[in-house]
Amino acid sequence: MSKQKIIVVGNGMVGHKFIENMIEHPDYDQYEVVTFSEEPRLAYDRVQLSYYFAGKTVDELMLTSPDYYDENGVRFIVSDKVVNIDHANKKVVTESGREESYDKLILATGSYPFVPPIPGKDQEHCLVYRTIEDLEGMTASAKVSKVGVVVGGGLLGLEAANALKNLGLETHVVEFAPRLMAVQLDEGGGQLLRSKIEELGVSVHTEKNTTEIVAGETCRYRMNFADGSHIETDMILFSAGIRPQDELARQFDIEIGPRGGIVIDNYCQTSAKDVYAIGECALWDGKIFGLVAPGYNMAKVAVSHITGGGLAFEGADMSTKLKLLGVDVASIGDAQARTPGCLSYTYADGHAGVYKRLVVSADNKKVIGAVLVGDVEAYGNLLQMMLGDIEIPGSPEALILPSIDGAAPALGVDALPDSAQICSCHDVTKGDIFEAVKGGCTDLAGIKSCTKAVTGCGGCAAMTTQVMNAALTEMGVEVDDSLCEHFSYTRQEIFDIIRVKGIKSFDELLESYGQGRGCEICKPAIGSMLATHWNEYVLDDKHIGLQDTNDVFLANMQRDGTYSVVPRIAGGEITPEQLIVLGEVGRDFGLYTKITGGQRIDFFGAQLHELPPIWERLVEAGFETGHAYGKSLRTVKSCVGSTWCRYGMLDSVSMAVNLEMRYKGLRSPHKLKMAVSGCTRECAEAQGKDVGVIATDKGWNLYLCGNGGMKPRHADLFAQDLDDETLLKYIDRFLMFYCRTADKLQRTSVWMDNLEGGLEYLHEVIVEDKLGICEELEADMQRVIDTYECEWKKTLNSPERLKRFAHFINSDLTDDNLAYVEMRGQAKGRIATDEERQKQAKGVEIETVELV
């Protein structure tokens, strides 16, 4: 049987989703897929478009790649528009003249921005906001503009206003309707949103009907309004709604709606045989859906119909929750209370800037709509009650009133049916999450990677966590996150105990809060916490037994039991004299010598008894320990920055040295790496580090929780344009908060992925001081900084401690098990035996092979 050929016109979010669903279908081998894109690239995440202005690159926005399509046999043609559909011969023709026949044709052409027919709208700095090219146009225009106006005060318009503000323009929003977000909000919600946005310095002009755009006096243009007023601006961004891209259907005899949109039935079929339409170009039951989730659903339905399945499209809920210009806004169902006979409840707190309106059915029993501004915590609950048609437990007003006694009247997730949709971006239901938990995902990070929940807009994080916990409880899995068999507390609880009770040793803690003797899990974890908090010498009698061998000997044990030695080279900056000393030490002790990925130098093959004389030489030359052995700050990598580089914005080396000297010696749940880049070319690869700092023309951008290694994670942009002082303050707070709350051996990346509330929550804690602990975090960090001591210097001054640095306690002989071969001119080389290689392949963590 020959393959059925499917052509997908448009490789936007929905077109790509369709292809992805096809690829994942068990019968995929019976199909051949070809896709055309008018844009110069494959599908990217339009929903996250605005993050471009916060530093996301085009690469990061991509949803797919040529490789993925190639691997799965999908043919794709970019920068070529389909201009002709020949129904009779079942083929399409493109602008460049390419012809392609089809068995099934999928129209996923999306929509285009509506620009009102205002005279003067076609001038140079009059723009729209939909594609990556539009963003580039806005950036270029902003460079030569001071004032920007967004036409349209809807959801997209306000997002665009935020973008203009970020681009440094004086920003205005002009809206035809009497309030902002007229579709989603009611009068009260619109009012509050307006005052909040104006507080942020964006001017809002409602009930303005633009009549013409003419040359300006103080700015490039002047917009004249019907009421006789005007506004001067250098740039105009139209965001006055979208129109379905239905021109192919229009021209080639496929039914469209009276006001546009390609008419589809419940299976996404158009009026033409074997032609489907999905996404924003499709009109279902007289409606266009301007959100991505319904489009994804249509993609699923179309795949099902083509492959013989029975799914049908049944409409979509348009409830939304988002942050606009930093203001939380949510709209659910019948937000404007249009349902005949419905009742509504309103709660407004002018002081805190909170507005909530709940719309319920005439019998006062069901939620049918809501508006939330300023505090959207109730969103998940209310949405589920509406979608699940669940009867309101108790009195409706309790659902929006703040809980005076602290107990929020939350609806338990138990009340939800399995089919309740928890994540609308990726259509993940309660049942899906339960299944994932049963399949072995027992933390939020696992649920995210296995179901994709929370990875879209992120609005469902809290709900997803609740469902996950419910599933764990149902399965009888006691979420046992106690440290080990000796302590039935979590790491975070133990940290609090140490802080609050002022506990200074393991024995003291074990006596009051633990049992047995401890083990290699709790001892180093608690040793690390004691060190984070009190910063005492780790080789003190009461601490030494807690340390891993690396910490005991202040060096990294290698596979043969010898050690590697890494002195600190802060920021990678080193004098020629110091470099000579390092060379001499390496030569004199016959050490295998290598440059690390963290811009320093690592010596291998040192035996225990050689460590003190090596360090004597190093300390004498001014070197300090590099903590390569500790769960602590490793290096702060830097590029050369503005002192030498033609592109450098700020002095990245000085900042890197500064950071490294500030945080050296801080013991943390896991190792920490940082980097500082002097400009956005990012030569120091700061976005792959726990803490990344990148210079801009306005200050420092701070990135957090990145990671290289086995599971790379791109760091999140946390704050922008900071001065030196604020930057250090935020990093102080971040590091201490991480040290206090992470699990044992949890890198910042995993910690962040499991942090309920994610980046936004972290922002609230660190910038807005929501928990009121910032002062304490800074003070704790200051204590660590003030009590820093080089562990090697201290050890060299203690004959008692030096006794341990011998292979035998009763002999001067050395280990006879060591064997080396000469390799590439160095005396000490070792070739892993097959057995060793196999051990590594099994994935046993070999802490010490890493060179940082």
Partner 1 sequence: MSEWKDICKLTDLAANTGVCALHNGEQVAIFLDGKEQKVHAISNFDPIGKANVLSRGIIGDIKGRLVVASPLYKQHFCLETGECLEEPENSVKAYQVRVEGDVVQLQA
As annotated, the binding site for [4Fe-4S] cluster includes: 639, 645, 679, 683
Least distance (Å) from ligand FAD to the CB of residue 242?
8
Q: Which of partner 1, ligand FAD, none does residue 519 bind to, with CB < 5 to 8 Å depending on kind?
A: partner 1
Phi (first) and psi of residue 86, to 5 degrees: -110, 95
Specify the residue, 81 or 205, whose C-beta has the smaller distance to ligand FAD: 81
Q: Which of ligand FAD, partner 1, none does residue 528 bind to, with CB < 5 to 8 Å depending on kind?
A: none
Specify the residue, 337 or 521, whose C-beta has the smaller distance to partner 1: 521
Least distance (Å) from partner 1 to the CB of residue 485?
7
Specify the residue, 136 or 485, whose C-beta has the smaller distance to partner 1: 485
Please report, in range form, the residues annotated as the binding site: 639, 645, 679, 683
3-state secondary structure of 233: strand
Least distance (Å) from ligand FAD to the CB of residue 120?
24
* Alpha carbons 733 and 727: distance in angstroms, whole number: 10
Q: Which of partner 1, ligand FAD, none does residue 10 bind to, with CB < 5 to 8 Å depending on kind?
A: ligand FAD
Interacting residues of 809 by C-beta distance below 8 A, sequence separation 6+:
none
Specify the residue, 10 or 190, whose C-beta has the smaller distance to ligand FAD: 10
Q: Are 567 and 582 in contact (CB under 8 A)?
A: yes
Q: Which of partner 1, ligand FAD, none does residue 292 bind to, with CB < 5 to 8 Å depending on kind?
A: ligand FAD
Give the interface with partner 1 as residue ranges (CB under 8 A).
485-486, 507, 516-520, 522-524, 541, 544-550, 552-553, 557, 559-561, 803-804, 807-811, 813, 815, 817, 835-836, 839, 844, 846
Q: Per the structure block, which two tokens stand in for 72?
A: 């799965």
Least distance (Å) from partner 1 to the CB of residue 843?
11
Q: Which of partner 1, ligand FAD, none does residue 533 bind to, with CB < 5 to 8 Å depending on kind?
A: none
Q: Which of ligand FAD, partner 1, none does residue 474 bind to, with CB < 5 to 8 Å depending on kind?
A: none
Q: Are 385 and 417 in contact (CB under 8 A)?
A: no
Cα-Cα-Cα-Cα torsion 18, 19, 25, 31, nearest 10 degrees, comes to 120
Q: Which of partner 1, ligand FAD, none does residue 342 bind to, with CB < 5 to 8 Å depending on kind?
A: none
Q: Per the structure block, which two tokens stand in for 664?
A: 């050296």
Closest Cα to residue 734, out of 666, 665, 634?
666
Q: Are 394 and 409 in contact (CB under 8 A)?
A: yes
Phi (first) and psi of residue 362, to 5 degrees: -55, -30
* Alpha carbons 533 and 735: distance in angstroms, whole number: 12
Least distance (Å) from partner 1 to the CB of residue 507?
8
Cα 601 from chain centroid? 33
Specify the residue, 486 or 667, whose C-beta has the smaller distance to partner 1: 486
Q: Please classify residue 284 by burial: count the beta carbons closer than 10 Å to its beta carbon, then call 0-12 exposed, 13-18 middle and 19+ buried.
A: buried
Query: Which residue sits closest to ligand FAD, CB atoms considered?
Result: 12
Specify the residue, 407 or 813, whose C-beta has the smaller distance to partner 1: 813
* Alpha carbons 759 and 737: distance in angstroms, whole number: 13
Closest Cα to residue 193, out of 208, 209, 177?
177
Q: Helices in 236-337 by DSSP H: which ranges? A: 247-251, 292-306
**Element housing 717 (H / E):** strand 716-722
Least distance (Å) from partner 1 to the CB of residue 670?
16
Q: Which of partner 1, ligand FAD, none does residue 737 bind to, with CB < 5 to 8 Å depending on kind?
A: none
Kindly tell me the sign of the dihedral angle through the C-alpha atoms of 457, 460, 465, 467: negative
Q: Which of partner 1, ligand FAD, none does residue 552 bind to, with CB < 5 to 8 Å depending on kind?
A: partner 1
Kindly tell me the sign of the dihedral angle through the C-alpha atoms of 24, 25, 27, 30: negative
Least distance (Å) from partner 1 to the CB of residue 844?
5
Number of other residues whose CB lies within 10 A of the CB of residue 512: 10
Q: Are strands 691-696 and 699-704 parallel, antiparallel or unpaired?
A: antiparallel
Least distance (Å) from ligand FAD to the CB of residue 378?
20
Give the interface with ligand FAD as residue ranges (CB under 6 A).
9-10, 12-15, 36-39, 46-47, 49-50, 81-82, 108-111, 129-130, 156, 159, 245, 248, 279-280, 290-293, 295, 322, 457
Specify the residue, 141 or 532, whose C-beta has the smaller distance to ligand FAD: 141
Interacting residues of 554 by C-beta distance below 8 A, sequence separation 6+:
539, 611, 615, 625, 629, 791, 792, 795
Specify the residue, 326 or 502, whose C-beta has the smaller distance to ligand FAD: 326
Least distance (Å) from ligand FAD to the CB of residue 291?
3
Specify the residue, 29 or 835, whose C-beta has the smaller distance to partner 1: 835
Q: Which of partner 1, ligand FAD, none does residue 293 bind to, with CB < 5 to 8 Å depending on kind?
A: ligand FAD
Specify the residue, 456 or 586, whose C-beta has the smaller distance to ligand FAD: 456
In the chain, how many H helices and how many E strands?
Answer: 27, 38
Least distance (Å) from ligand FAD to the CB of residue 202?
17
Number of other residues whose CB lies within 10 A of the CB of residue 15: 27
